[in-house]
Amino acid sequence: MANRSGARRTAEAGISLTEILMVIAVMGILLAVGAPRISAVLSRSGASQATTVVAMDLQQAVSLAARQRKPVRVACDCANGTYTVTDRATGSVLLRRRLTGNDADYNLRAVAFSATPVDVFPSGRTSAPLTVTLTSGTVSKSVTMTTGGLVVVAR
């Protein structure tokens, strides 16, 4: 059949149902193969991000004690996955962080403190060494604060 310009009209190009089903099948196979690796990467990523945040919060506790010239307390409510930094004398909350649960930004299953509470003095010293262990899936990372107030992220 000829159109107005006299050229013959060819069959319209398109995608068949078979081609669409083949693409969906290949994508499904790739997803099934890659899902465990993606899950592991997300677990490591969440634990790494949370480790960095906890290290910064512990350094901030040391800084707050020095700046205010009075002790602050770092305490964990590990069952609920939260920790707080409070003014030791008044109990007023200076910082609160939630690490587990649906409303947390990190994909963590558990948070553990080696000692709680730990007091941080204006001199930078602490009442006890502290190790914070963060668990996400099969990945565990830790942050340590020495009695000298040095915060170290374990690699």
Q: What percent of the chain stands above pLDDT 90?
A: 58
Digit-coded pLDDT (tens) for 2-27: 556 555 656 667 888 899 999 999 99
In this prediction, residue 87 carries a pLDDT of: 95
Q: Bridge-partner residues for 61, per DSSP?
A: none
Rounded to an integer, the average pLDDT of 114-121 is: 95
Confidence of residue 137 (pLDDT cuts 50, 70, 90): confident
Rounded to an integer, the average pLDDT of 95-124 is: 88
Give the dihedral of Cα atoms 105, 117, 60, 104; nearest 10 deg: 10
